Structure 1
Protein backbone atom coordinates (compact mmCIF):
# COMPACT_ATOMS: atom_id res chain seq x y z
CA UNK A 1 0.00 0.00 0.00
CA UNK A 2 1.35 3.37 -1.03
CA UNK A 3 0.79 6.39 1.24
CA UNK A 4 0.76 9.91 -0.23
CA UNK A 5 0.25 13.35 1.27
CA UNK A 6 -0.33 15.68 -1.68
CA UNK A 7 -2.92 15.97 -4.40
CA UNK A 8 -0.18 15.80 -7.01
CA UNK A 9 1.09 12.45 -5.68
CA UNK A 10 -2.46 11.17 -5.37
CA UNK A 11 -3.35 12.02 -8.96
CA UNK A 12 -0.13 10.53 -10.29
CA UNK A 13 -0.79 7.21 -8.55
CA UNK A 14 -4.40 7.14 -9.76
CA UNK A 15 -3.35 8.02 -13.31
CA UNK A 16 -1.03 5.01 -13.29
CA UNK A 17 -3.87 2.75 -12.10
CA UNK A 18 -6.15 4.16 -14.80
CA UNK A 19 -3.47 3.56 -17.44
CA UNK A 20 -3.50 -0.08 -16.36
CA UNK A 21 -7.26 -0.23 -16.96
CA UNK A 22 -8.21 -0.38 -13.30
CA UNK A 23 -11.48 0.82 -11.80
CA UNK A 24 -11.11 3.08 -8.77
CA UNK A 25 -12.97 2.90 -5.47
CA UNK A 26 -12.80 5.48 -2.68
CA UNK A 27 -13.37 5.08 1.06
CA UNK A 28 -13.13 8.46 2.83
CA UNK A 29 -12.43 8.35 6.59
CA UNK A 30 -11.24 10.52 9.45
CA UNK A 31 -8.97 7.79 10.79
CA UNK A 32 -9.04 6.03 14.18
CA UNK A 33 -10.29 3.07 12.18
CA UNK A 34 -12.27 0.09 13.44
CA UNK A 35 -13.80 -3.06 11.93
CA UNK A 36 -16.57 -1.03 10.32
CA UNK A 37 -14.07 0.95 8.28
CA UNK A 38 -12.24 -2.25 7.35
CA UNK A 39 -15.53 -3.69 6.06
CA UNK A 40 -15.94 -0.68 3.74
CA UNK A 41 -12.46 -1.21 2.28
CA UNK A 42 -13.04 -4.94 1.89
CA UNK A 43 -16.33 -4.27 0.08
CA UNK A 44 -14.59 -1.82 -2.24
CA UNK A 45 -11.84 -4.35 -2.96
CA UNK A 46 -14.50 -6.85 -4.04
CA UNK A 47 -15.94 -4.40 -6.56
CA UNK A 48 -12.98 -2.54 -8.05
CA UNK A 49 -9.34 -3.15 -8.96
CA UNK A 50 -7.78 -0.24 -7.04
CA UNK A 51 -8.96 0.99 -3.64
CA UNK A 52 -8.12 4.47 -2.38
CA UNK A 53 -8.73 5.40 1.26
CA UNK A 54 -8.33 8.84 2.74
CA UNK A 55 -7.66 9.89 6.31
CA UNK A 56 -8.39 13.53 6.97
CA UNK A 57 -9.76 15.00 10.18
CA UNK A 58 -11.77 17.74 8.51
CA UNK A 59 -11.95 20.91 10.63
CA UNK A 60 -14.68 22.32 8.41
CA UNK A 61 -17.23 19.84 9.79
CA UNK A 62 -16.46 20.46 13.48
CA UNK A 63 -18.51 23.05 15.37
CA UNK A 64 -16.99 25.60 17.77
CA UNK A 65 -18.04 23.51 20.81
CA UNK A 66 -16.63 20.26 19.37
CA UNK A 67 -13.04 19.47 20.29
CA UNK A 68 -11.24 18.95 17.00
CA UNK A 69 -7.87 18.70 18.75
CA UNK A 70 -8.97 15.71 20.87
CA UNK A 71 -10.09 13.63 17.90
CA UNK A 72 -7.87 10.50 18.00
CA UNK A 73 -5.04 10.29 15.46
CA UNK A 74 -3.83 6.68 15.11
CA UNK A 75 -2.08 6.64 11.73
CA UNK A 76 0.26 3.67 12.21
CA UNK A 77 -2.55 1.40 13.43
CA UNK A 78 -4.84 2.71 10.69
CA UNK A 79 -2.28 1.88 8.01
CA UNK A 80 -2.04 -1.69 9.26
CA UNK A 81 -5.83 -2.12 9.19
CA UNK A 82 -6.10 -0.64 5.69
CA UNK A 83 -3.33 -2.82 4.31
CA UNK A 84 -4.94 -5.94 5.74
CA UNK A 85 -8.35 -4.94 4.33
CA UNK A 86 -7.00 -4.56 0.79
CA UNK A 87 -6.34 -0.84 0.38
CA UNK A 88 -3.96 0.07 -2.44
CA UNK A 89 -3.43 3.80 -1.88
CA UNK A 90 -3.81 5.94 1.24
CA UNK A 91 -4.19 9.72 1.00
CA UNK A 92 -3.31 11.60 4.21
CA UNK A 93 -3.39 15.32 3.40
CA UNK A 94 -2.88 17.99 6.01
CA UNK A 95 -5.18 20.98 6.43
CA UNK A 96 -3.02 23.23 4.26
CA UNK A 97 -3.17 20.71 1.42
CA UNK A 98 -6.96 20.55 1.51
CA UNK A 99 -7.56 24.23 2.24
CA UNK A 100 -4.52 26.07 0.86
CA UNK A 101 -6.22 29.48 1.01
CA UNK A 102 -7.55 28.87 4.51
CA UNK A 103 -11.04 27.85 5.54
CA UNK A 104 -12.56 31.32 5.91
CA UNK A 105 -12.65 31.93 2.17
CA UNK A 106 -13.16 28.32 1.13
CA UNK A 107 -15.91 27.70 -1.43
CA UNK A 108 -18.48 25.57 0.33
CA UNK A 109 -21.05 23.05 -0.84
CA UNK A 110 -24.54 23.19 0.68
CA UNK A 111 -26.99 20.33 0.13
CA UNK A 112 -30.50 21.51 1.01
CA UNK A 113 -33.36 19.35 2.20
CA UNK A 114 -31.78 16.14 3.48
CA UNK A 115 -29.14 18.05 5.46
CA UNK A 116 -31.79 19.85 7.51
CA UNK A 117 -32.99 18.66 10.92
CA UNK A 118 -31.58 15.69 12.85
CA UNK A 119 -27.77 16.07 12.98
CA UNK A 120 -28.08 19.11 10.73
CA UNK A 121 -29.96 20.90 13.50
CA UNK A 122 -27.78 19.61 16.33
CA UNK A 123 -24.52 20.40 14.54
CA UNK A 124 -25.00 23.57 12.45
CA UNK A 125 -22.61 23.72 9.51
CA UNK A 126 -21.59 20.07 9.90
CA UNK A 127 -23.02 18.81 6.63
CA UNK A 128 -21.74 21.82 4.74
CA UNK A 129 -18.27 20.80 5.92
CA UNK A 130 -18.91 17.16 4.98
CA UNK A 131 -20.28 18.01 1.54
CA UNK A 132 -17.37 20.36 0.83
CA UNK A 133 -14.60 17.94 1.76
CA UNK A 134 -16.29 15.00 0.02
CA UNK A 135 -16.66 17.08 -3.15
CA UNK A 136 -12.95 17.93 -3.00
CA UNK A 137 -12.04 14.25 -2.50
CA UNK A 138 -14.30 13.21 -5.37
CA UNK A 139 -12.64 15.76 -7.64
CA UNK A 140 -9.14 14.69 -6.60
CA UNK A 141 -9.74 10.93 -6.93
CA UNK A 142 -12.53 10.84 -9.55
CA UNK A 143 -13.54 7.35 -8.40
CA UNK A 144 -15.90 4.99 -10.16
CA UNK A 145 -17.55 4.26 -6.83
CA UNK A 146 -17.36 5.40 -3.22
CA UNK A 147 -18.47 3.48 -0.15
CA UNK A 148 -19.87 4.95 3.08
CA UNK A 149 -21.26 3.34 6.21
CA UNK A 150 -25.01 3.43 6.83
CA UNK A 151 -24.47 4.28 10.51
CA UNK A 152 -24.19 7.90 9.37
CA UNK A 153 -27.53 7.64 7.57
CA UNK A 154 -28.16 11.34 7.07
CA UNK A 155 -24.60 11.86 5.85
CA UNK A 156 -25.10 9.11 3.28
CA UNK A 157 -28.32 10.79 2.13
CA UNK A 158 -26.48 14.11 1.80
CA UNK A 159 -23.74 12.53 -0.30
CA UNK A 160 -26.19 10.69 -2.55
CA UNK A 161 -28.08 13.93 -3.13
CA UNK A 162 -24.84 15.81 -3.78
CA UNK A 163 -23.75 13.32 -6.44
CA UNK A 164 -27.17 13.31 -8.10
CA UNK A 165 -27.63 17.07 -8.10
CA UNK A 166 -24.11 17.86 -9.36
CA UNK A 167 -24.16 15.09 -12.01
CA UNK A 168 -21.09 13.32 -10.65
CA UNK A 169 -20.51 9.97 -12.43
CA UNK A 170 -19.87 8.13 -9.17
CA UNK A 171 -21.75 5.14 -7.79
CA UNK A 172 -22.45 5.65 -4.08
CA UNK A 173 -22.75 2.48 -2.02
CA UNK A 174 -24.06 2.35 1.55
CA UNK A 175 -22.63 -0.51 3.60
CA UNK A 176 -24.57 -1.99 6.53
CA UNK A 177 -23.58 -0.85 10.03
CA UNK A 178 -21.11 -3.15 11.76
CA UNK A 179 -22.12 -3.83 15.35
CA UNK A 180 -20.61 -5.29 18.49
CA UNK A 181 -22.18 -8.49 19.82
CA UNK A 182 -24.45 -6.50 22.11
CA UNK A 183 -25.76 -4.39 19.22
CA UNK A 184 -23.77 -1.19 19.73
CA UNK A 185 -22.84 0.37 16.39
CA UNK A 186 -19.07 0.49 15.98
CA UNK A 187 -17.84 4.07 16.10
CA UNK A 188 -14.60 5.90 16.76
CA UNK A 189 -16.50 7.70 19.52
CA UNK A 190 -16.99 4.46 21.47
CA UNK A 191 -13.39 4.81 22.63
CA UNK A 192 -14.44 7.80 24.75
CA UNK A 193 -16.85 5.68 26.85
CA UNK A 194 -16.10 4.56 30.38
CA UNK A 195 -16.78 0.92 31.27
CA UNK A 196 -20.10 1.91 32.85
CA UNK A 197 -21.12 4.01 29.84
CA UNK A 198 -20.11 1.23 27.44
CA UNK A 199 -22.36 -1.19 29.32
CA UNK A 200 -25.31 1.20 28.98
CA UNK A 201 -24.66 2.20 25.36
CA UNK A 202 -26.53 -0.72 23.68
CA UNK A 203 -29.75 0.78 25.08
CA UNK A 204 -29.89 2.97 21.95
CA UNK A 205 -30.09 0.07 19.51
CA UNK A 206 -32.37 -1.90 21.80
CA UNK A 207 -34.83 0.99 21.73
CA UNK A 208 -34.66 1.21 17.95
CA UNK A 209 -35.27 -2.52 17.63
CA UNK A 210 -38.29 -2.38 19.93
CA UNK A 211 -39.73 0.55 17.99
CA UNK A 212 -39.18 -1.27 14.69
CA UNK A 213 -40.94 -4.38 15.99
CA UNK A 214 -43.93 -2.32 17.09
CA UNK A 215 -44.11 -0.55 13.72
CA UNK A 216 -43.90 -3.85 11.84
CA UNK A 217 -46.76 -5.10 14.02
CA UNK A 218 -48.94 -2.19 12.93
CA UNK A 219 -48.27 0.59 15.48
CA UNK A 220 -48.37 4.01 13.83
CA UNK A 221 -48.41 6.27 16.87
CA UNK A 222 -44.80 7.32 16.38
CA UNK A 223 -44.94 9.93 19.14
CA UNK A 224 -45.88 7.28 21.70
CA UNK A 225 -43.04 5.00 20.58
CA UNK A 226 -40.55 7.87 20.69
CA UNK A 227 -41.60 8.90 24.20
CA UNK A 228 -41.18 5.36 25.50
CA UNK A 229 -37.76 4.91 23.90
CA UNK A 230 -36.50 8.27 25.19
CA UNK A 231 -37.64 7.38 28.70
CA UNK A 232 -35.63 4.18 28.32
CA UNK A 233 -32.61 6.29 27.31
CA UNK A 234 -33.00 8.55 30.33
CA UNK A 235 -33.21 5.56 32.66
CA UNK A 236 -29.95 4.24 31.19
CA UNK A 237 -28.14 7.53 31.80
CA UNK A 238 -28.48 9.09 28.34
CA UNK A 239 -29.38 12.70 27.56
CA UNK A 240 -31.52 12.44 24.39
CA UNK A 241 -30.70 14.72 21.47
CA UNK A 242 -33.25 13.52 18.93
CA UNK A 243 -35.25 10.41 18.09
CA UNK A 244 -37.36 10.57 14.94
CA UNK A 245 -39.12 8.37 12.41
CA UNK A 246 -38.51 9.57 8.86
CA UNK A 247 -39.33 8.43 5.34
CA UNK A 248 -36.21 6.49 4.40
CA UNK A 249 -35.40 8.07 1.04
CA UNK A 250 -36.38 11.74 1.41
CA UNK A 251 -35.82 11.99 5.19
CA UNK A 252 -39.06 13.97 5.54
CA UNK A 253 -41.12 13.20 8.69
CA UNK A 254 -42.84 9.86 8.27
CA UNK A 255 -46.58 9.43 7.89
CA UNK A 256 -48.73 6.41 8.68
CA UNK A 257 -48.94 5.63 4.95
CA UNK A 258 -45.18 5.43 4.32
CA UNK A 259 -43.77 1.98 3.59
CA UNK A 260 -40.05 2.72 3.76
CA UNK A 261 -39.04 4.17 7.10
CA UNK A 262 -35.91 4.85 9.09
CA UNK A 263 -35.67 5.52 12.81
CA UNK A 264 -32.79 7.84 13.66
CA UNK A 265 -31.39 8.55 17.11
CA UNK A 266 -28.71 10.70 18.70
CA UNK A 267 -28.05 10.92 22.43
CA UNK A 268 -25.31 11.88 24.84
CA UNK A 269 -23.91 9.58 27.49
CA UNK A 270 -21.57 11.63 29.57
CA UNK A 271 -19.92 13.99 27.10
CA UNK A 272 -20.00 11.48 24.22
CA UNK A 273 -22.62 11.82 21.51
CA UNK A 274 -23.67 8.54 19.89
CA UNK A 275 -25.86 8.11 16.82
CA UNK A 276 -27.60 5.11 15.31
CA UNK A 277 -30.47 4.23 12.98
CA UNK A 278 -32.61 1.35 11.84
CA UNK A 279 -34.37 1.14 8.47
CA UNK A 280 -37.73 -0.58 8.10
CA UNK A 281 -39.13 -1.87 4.80
CA UNK A 282 -42.79 -2.58 5.45
CA UNK A 283 -43.24 -4.04 1.97
CA UNK A 284 -41.04 -6.94 3.04
CA UNK A 285 -43.07 -7.69 6.18
CA UNK A 286 -45.06 -10.91 5.87
Structure 2
Protein backbone atom coordinates (compact mmCIF):
# COMPACT_ATOMS: atom_id res chain seq x y z
CA UNK A 1 0.00 0.00 0.00
CA UNK A 2 1.17 3.51 -0.76
CA UNK A 3 0.16 6.77 0.93
CA UNK A 4 0.48 9.94 -1.14
CA UNK A 5 -0.29 13.58 -0.41
CA UNK A 6 -0.42 15.50 -3.68
CA UNK A 7 -2.72 15.45 -6.68
CA UNK A 8 0.26 14.86 -8.96
CA UNK A 9 1.38 11.82 -6.94
CA UNK A 10 -1.99 10.08 -6.87
CA UNK A 11 -2.61 10.72 -10.57
CA UNK A 12 0.80 9.37 -11.54
CA UNK A 13 0.49 6.37 -9.22
CA UNK A 14 -2.91 5.42 -10.66
CA UNK A 15 -1.84 6.01 -14.24
CA UNK A 16 0.94 3.46 -13.78
CA UNK A 17 -1.46 0.70 -12.70
CA UNK A 18 -4.70 1.62 -14.47
CA UNK A 19 -5.96 -1.20 -16.71
CA UNK A 20 -9.12 -1.43 -18.85
CA UNK A 21 -10.48 -4.48 -17.01
CA UNK A 22 -9.51 -3.38 -13.49
CA UNK A 23 -12.19 -1.34 -11.70
CA UNK A 24 -10.98 1.42 -9.39
CA UNK A 25 -13.03 1.87 -6.21
CA UNK A 26 -12.94 5.16 -4.30
CA UNK A 27 -13.84 5.64 -0.64
CA UNK A 28 -13.92 9.35 0.27
CA UNK A 29 -13.48 9.88 4.04
CA UNK A 30 -12.51 12.56 6.54
CA UNK A 31 -10.38 10.09 8.46
CA UNK A 32 -10.84 9.01 12.09
CA UNK A 33 -11.70 5.68 10.51
CA UNK A 34 -13.98 3.24 12.32
CA UNK A 35 -15.86 0.00 11.70
CA UNK A 36 -18.23 1.74 9.30
CA UNK A 37 -15.29 2.72 7.12
CA UNK A 38 -13.93 -0.81 7.44
CA UNK A 39 -17.16 -2.11 5.91
CA UNK A 40 -16.73 0.33 3.02
CA UNK A 41 -13.20 -0.96 2.47
CA UNK A 42 -14.24 -4.60 2.65
CA UNK A 43 -17.04 -4.01 0.13
CA UNK A 44 -14.77 -2.13 -2.26
CA UNK A 45 -12.03 -4.72 -1.93
CA UNK A 46 -14.45 -7.48 -2.97
CA UNK A 47 -15.73 -5.55 -5.97
CA UNK A 48 -12.71 -3.70 -7.34
CA UNK A 49 -9.25 -4.42 -8.66
CA UNK A 50 -7.83 -1.26 -7.05
CA UNK A 51 -9.06 0.52 -3.92
CA UNK A 52 -8.29 4.16 -3.10
CA UNK A 53 -9.19 5.72 0.27
CA UNK A 54 -9.06 9.49 0.53
CA UNK A 55 -8.54 11.13 3.91
CA UNK A 56 -9.33 14.82 3.87
CA UNK A 57 -11.03 16.95 6.52
CA UNK A 58 -12.71 19.38 4.15
CA UNK A 59 -12.72 22.86 5.71
CA UNK A 60 -15.42 24.12 3.35
CA UNK A 61 -18.09 21.81 4.75
CA UNK A 62 -17.77 23.01 8.35
CA UNK A 63 -19.76 26.01 9.54
CA UNK A 64 -18.21 28.76 11.70
CA UNK A 65 -19.44 27.21 14.96
CA UNK A 66 -18.80 23.57 14.03
CA UNK A 67 -16.03 21.17 15.03
CA UNK A 68 -13.43 21.59 12.27
CA UNK A 69 -10.62 22.48 14.67
CA UNK A 70 -11.28 19.57 17.03
CA UNK A 71 -12.19 16.97 14.42
CA UNK A 72 -9.89 13.98 15.08
CA UNK A 73 -6.99 13.47 12.64
CA UNK A 74 -5.20 10.21 13.60
CA UNK A 75 -3.56 9.86 10.18
CA UNK A 76 -0.97 7.24 11.10
CA UNK A 77 -3.59 4.94 12.65
CA UNK A 78 -5.91 5.50 9.68
CA UNK A 79 -3.20 4.58 7.18
CA UNK A 80 -2.41 1.42 9.13
CA UNK A 81 -6.10 0.43 9.19
CA UNK A 82 -6.25 0.91 5.41
CA UNK A 83 -3.17 -1.26 5.03
CA UNK A 84 -4.75 -4.07 7.05
CA UNK A 85 -7.84 -3.99 4.82
CA UNK A 86 -5.91 -4.32 1.58
CA UNK A 87 -6.28 -0.75 0.35
CA UNK A 88 -3.92 0.03 -2.53
CA UNK A 89 -3.57 3.80 -2.18
CA UNK A 90 -4.34 6.37 0.51
CA UNK A 91 -4.63 9.93 -0.76
CA UNK A 92 -4.30 12.30 2.19
CA UNK A 93 -3.85 15.85 0.90
CA UNK A 94 -3.48 19.03 2.92
CA UNK A 95 -6.14 21.73 2.55
CA UNK A 96 -3.63 23.80 0.57
CA UNK A 97 -3.25 20.94 -1.92
CA UNK A 98 -6.99 20.64 -2.54
CA UNK A 99 -7.58 24.41 -2.50
CA UNK A 100 -4.34 26.06 -3.71
CA UNK A 101 -6.28 29.26 -4.42
CA UNK A 102 -9.63 30.58 -3.21
CA UNK A 103 -12.36 28.26 -4.51
CA UNK A 104 -14.60 30.16 -6.92
CA UNK A 105 -16.27 27.14 -8.52
CA UNK A 106 -18.82 25.06 -6.63
CA UNK A 107 -21.22 22.20 -7.24
CA UNK A 108 -24.67 22.67 -5.77
CA UNK A 109 -27.45 20.09 -5.83
CA UNK A 110 -30.62 22.03 -5.13
CA UNK A 111 -33.85 20.61 -3.68
CA UNK A 112 -32.21 17.38 -2.45
CA UNK A 113 -30.16 19.51 -0.05
CA UNK A 114 -32.93 21.88 1.06
CA UNK A 115 -34.27 20.07 4.12
CA UNK A 116 -32.94 17.91 6.99
CA UNK A 117 -29.24 18.64 7.54
CA UNK A 118 -29.24 21.12 4.67
CA UNK A 119 -31.66 23.39 6.50
CA UNK A 120 -29.41 23.56 9.57
CA UNK A 121 -25.98 23.55 7.90
CA UNK A 122 -26.08 26.21 5.15
CA UNK A 123 -23.52 25.53 2.44
CA UNK A 124 -22.59 22.11 3.81
CA UNK A 125 -23.81 20.01 0.90
CA UNK A 126 -22.47 22.48 -1.65
CA UNK A 127 -19.05 21.92 -0.09
CA UNK A 128 -19.54 18.13 0.04
CA UNK A 129 -20.58 17.92 -3.60
CA UNK A 130 -17.69 20.17 -4.63
CA UNK A 131 -15.00 18.17 -2.86
CA UNK A 132 -16.43 14.83 -4.02
CA UNK A 133 -16.50 16.05 -7.62
CA UNK A 134 -12.88 17.18 -7.23
CA UNK A 135 -11.96 13.73 -5.91
CA UNK A 136 -13.81 12.03 -8.76
CA UNK A 137 -11.84 14.16 -11.23
CA UNK A 138 -8.53 13.47 -9.49
CA UNK A 139 -8.92 9.70 -9.01
CA UNK A 140 -11.29 8.91 -11.92
CA UNK A 141 -12.83 5.88 -10.20
CA UNK A 142 -15.31 3.45 -11.67
CA UNK A 143 -17.14 2.99 -8.36
CA UNK A 144 -17.45 5.13 -5.22
CA UNK A 145 -18.59 3.89 -1.82
CA UNK A 146 -20.67 5.82 0.72
CA UNK A 147 -22.30 4.81 3.99
CA UNK A 148 -26.08 4.88 4.30
CA UNK A 149 -25.86 6.60 7.70
CA UNK A 150 -25.19 9.84 5.82
CA UNK A 151 -28.38 9.35 3.83
CA UNK A 152 -28.81 12.90 2.56
CA UNK A 153 -25.16 13.11 1.52
CA UNK A 154 -25.63 9.87 -0.43
CA UNK A 155 -28.72 11.30 -2.15
CA UNK A 156 -26.84 14.50 -3.04
CA UNK A 157 -23.91 12.56 -4.53
CA UNK A 158 -26.23 10.26 -6.47
CA UNK A 159 -28.10 13.21 -7.97
CA UNK A 160 -24.90 15.10 -8.80
CA UNK A 161 -23.48 12.01 -10.52
CA UNK A 162 -26.66 11.49 -12.55
CA UNK A 163 -27.20 15.13 -13.47
CA UNK A 164 -23.59 15.65 -14.58
CA UNK A 165 -23.34 12.30 -16.43
CA UNK A 166 -20.35 11.22 -14.37
CA UNK A 167 -19.08 7.72 -15.26
CA UNK A 168 -19.04 6.59 -11.62
CA UNK A 169 -21.30 3.98 -10.01
CA UNK A 170 -22.38 5.14 -6.55
CA UNK A 171 -22.46 2.18 -4.16
CA UNK A 172 -24.38 2.52 -0.86
CA UNK A 173 -23.15 0.47 2.09
CA UNK A 174 -25.44 -0.29 5.08
CA UNK A 175 -24.96 1.51 8.39
CA UNK A 176 -22.79 -0.23 10.96
CA UNK A 177 -24.14 -0.11 14.51
CA UNK A 178 -22.90 -0.68 18.03
CA UNK A 179 -24.56 -3.58 19.92
CA UNK A 180 -27.04 -1.10 21.48
CA UNK A 181 -28.06 0.27 18.07
CA UNK A 182 -26.08 3.51 18.01
CA UNK A 183 -24.80 4.20 14.49
CA UNK A 184 -21.00 4.11 14.43
CA UNK A 185 -19.59 7.61 13.91
CA UNK A 186 -16.30 9.42 14.39
CA UNK A 187 -18.17 11.91 16.59
CA UNK A 188 -19.31 9.26 19.09
CA UNK A 189 -15.95 9.69 20.79
CA UNK A 190 -17.01 13.17 21.89
CA UNK A 191 -19.78 11.76 24.12
CA UNK A 192 -19.29 11.56 27.87
CA UNK A 193 -20.50 8.37 29.63
CA UNK A 194 -23.95 9.76 30.45
CA UNK A 195 -24.48 11.06 26.91
CA UNK A 196 -23.27 7.77 25.46
CA UNK A 197 -25.83 5.93 27.58
CA UNK A 198 -28.78 7.83 26.08
CA UNK A 199 -27.40 8.19 22.52
CA UNK A 200 -29.12 4.98 21.27
CA UNK A 201 -32.50 6.67 21.84
CA UNK A 202 -32.19 8.25 18.41
CA UNK A 203 -32.19 4.85 16.72
CA UNK A 204 -35.00 3.62 18.98
CA UNK A 205 -37.07 6.66 18.01
CA UNK A 206 -36.52 5.91 14.33
CA UNK A 207 -37.48 2.28 14.95
CA UNK A 208 -40.69 3.47 16.59
CA UNK A 209 -41.47 5.54 13.51
CA UNK A 210 -40.79 2.53 11.31
CA UNK A 211 -43.08 0.41 13.51
CA UNK A 212 -45.87 2.98 13.12
CA UNK A 213 -45.48 2.99 9.32
CA UNK A 214 -45.43 -0.81 9.09
CA UNK A 215 -48.57 -0.98 11.21
CA UNK A 216 -50.36 1.10 8.60
CA UNK A 217 -50.15 4.64 9.98
CA UNK A 218 -50.14 7.17 7.13
CA UNK A 219 -50.16 10.47 9.01
CA UNK A 220 -46.57 11.75 9.16
CA UNK A 221 -47.43 14.05 12.07
CA UNK A 222 -48.59 11.10 14.20
CA UNK A 223 -45.54 9.07 13.21
CA UNK A 224 -43.24 11.96 14.18
CA UNK A 225 -45.08 12.41 17.48
CA UNK A 226 -44.57 8.75 18.37
CA UNK A 227 -40.85 8.97 17.58
CA UNK A 228 -40.43 12.25 19.46
CA UNK A 229 -42.08 10.63 22.45
CA UNK A 230 -39.19 8.17 22.58
CA UNK A 231 -36.63 10.98 22.41
CA UNK A 232 -38.51 12.81 25.15
CA UNK A 233 -37.52 10.08 27.61
CA UNK A 234 -34.10 11.71 28.05
CA UNK A 235 -33.84 15.41 28.98
CA UNK A 236 -30.24 15.39 27.73
CA UNK A 237 -31.44 14.97 24.13
CA UNK A 238 -32.09 18.14 22.13
CA UNK A 239 -33.91 17.39 18.88
CA UNK A 240 -32.84 19.29 15.78
CA UNK A 241 -35.16 17.51 13.37
CA UNK A 242 -37.06 14.29 12.86
CA UNK A 243 -38.78 13.92 9.49
CA UNK A 244 -40.30 11.40 7.10
CA UNK A 245 -39.00 12.09 3.59
CA UNK A 246 -39.13 10.61 0.11
CA UNK A 247 -36.03 8.55 -0.79
CA UNK A 248 -34.91 10.46 -3.89
CA UNK A 249 -35.28 14.19 -3.30
CA UNK A 250 -35.42 14.16 0.52
CA UNK A 251 -38.70 16.10 0.63
CA UNK A 252 -40.83 15.84 3.78
CA UNK A 253 -44.13 14.04 3.24
CA UNK A 254 -47.39 14.58 5.12
CA UNK A 255 -49.03 11.33 4.03
CA UNK A 256 -46.72 8.33 4.19
CA UNK A 257 -46.59 5.76 1.43
CA UNK A 258 -43.38 3.68 1.39
CA UNK A 259 -40.67 3.74 0.28
CA UNK A 260 -39.63 6.50 2.67
CA UNK A 261 -36.73 7.42 4.92
CA UNK A 262 -37.21 8.49 8.52
CA UNK A 263 -34.29 10.70 9.46
CA UNK A 264 -33.29 12.45 12.66
CA UNK A 265 -30.61 14.70 14.10
CA UNK A 266 -30.12 15.34 17.80
CA UNK A 267 -27.66 17.12 20.04
CA UNK A 268 -26.13 15.68 23.18
CA UNK A 269 -24.21 18.53 24.73
CA UNK A 270 -21.92 19.85 21.98
CA UNK A 271 -22.16 16.67 19.89
CA UNK A 272 -24.50 16.32 16.96
CA UNK A 273 -25.67 12.84 15.94
CA UNK A 274 -27.61 11.83 12.83
CA UNK A 275 -29.27 8.58 11.84
CA UNK A 276 -32.02 7.22 9.60
CA UNK A 277 -34.02 4.13 8.71
CA UNK A 278 -35.38 3.14 5.33
CA UNK A 279 -38.88 1.71 5.11
CA UNK A 280 -39.12 -0.02 1.77
CA UNK A 281 -42.70 -1.29 1.99
**Range class of TM-score, shorter chain:** over 0.9
Residues matched between the structures, number: 280
Counterpart-to-counterpart distance in 2, 1:216 and 1:73: 41
Structure 2 counterparts to residues 5-20 of structure 1, below 5 A:
5-19=5-19
Counterpart-to-counterpart distance in 1, 2:242 and 2:55: 30
In structure 1, list runs of 5 or more residues that go unmatched.
none
Write out per-residue CA displacement over residues 146-165 of structure 1, whole angstroms, 9 at most, x where no aligned residue: 00000000000000000001
Counterpart-to-counterpart distance in 2, 1:176 and 1:134: 20
In structure 2, list runs of 5 or more residues that go unmatched.
none
After TM superposition, the structure 1 stretch with the greater mean CA deviation from structure 2, 209-218 or 222-231, is 222-231
Structure 2 counterparts to residues 213-224 of structure 1, below 5 A:
213-224=211-222
Quote how far apart the aligned CAs of 1:259 are. Answer: 2.3
Write out per-residue CA displacement over residues 140-181 of structure 1, whole angstroms, 9 at most, x where no aligned residue: 001000000000000000000000011100000110000001
1:186 is the counterpart of 2:152: no
Quote how far apart the aligned CAs of 1:227 are. Answer: 2.1
Quote how far apart the aligned CAs of 1:86 are. Answer: 1.8
Quote how far apart the aligned CAs of 1:90 are. Answer: 0.2
Q: 1:112 to 1:44 in 2, by over 3 A?
A: same
| Residues 247, 258 of structure 1: 8 Å contact kept | no
Secondary structure of the residue aligned to 2:101 is coil
Structure 2 counterparts to residues 191-230 of structure 1, below 5 A:
191-230=189-228
* Residue equivalent to 2:30: 30
Counterpart-to-counterpart distance in 1, 2:256 and 2:267: 32
Secondary structure of the residue aligned to 2:18 is helix
Write out per-residue CA displacement over residues 232-276 of structure 1, whole angstroms, 9 at most, x where no aligned residue: 323312100000001112222225362211000001011100000
| Residues 54, 92 of structure 1: 8 Å contact kept | yes
Write out per-residue CA displacement over residues 72-91 of structure 1, whole angstroms, 9 at most, x where no aligned residue: 01111111211112211000
After TM superposition, the structure 1 stretch with the greater mean CA deviation from structure 2, 229-238 or 211-220, is 229-238
Write out per-residue CA displacement over residues 65-106 of structure 1, whole angstroms, 9 at most, x where no aligned residue: 11311000111111121111221100000011000013xx43
TM-score (norm 1): 0.95
Quote how far apart the aligned CAs of 1:186 are. Answer: 0.2
Quote how far apart the aligned CAs of 1:221 are. Answer: 2.0
User: Root-mean-square deviation (CA), in Å?
Assistant: 1.2
* Residue equivalent to 1:46: 46
Secondary structure of the residue aligned to 2:69 is helix
Q: Which portions of structure 1, spanning 4 or more consecutive aligned residues, are displaced by more than 4 angstroms? A: none
Q: 1:257 to 1:66 in 2, by over 3 A?
A: closer
* Residue equivalent to 2:128: 130
* Residue equivalent to 1:249: 248
Counterpart-to-counterpart distance in 1, 2:176 and 2:86: 18
Secondary structure of the residue aligned to 1:279 is strand
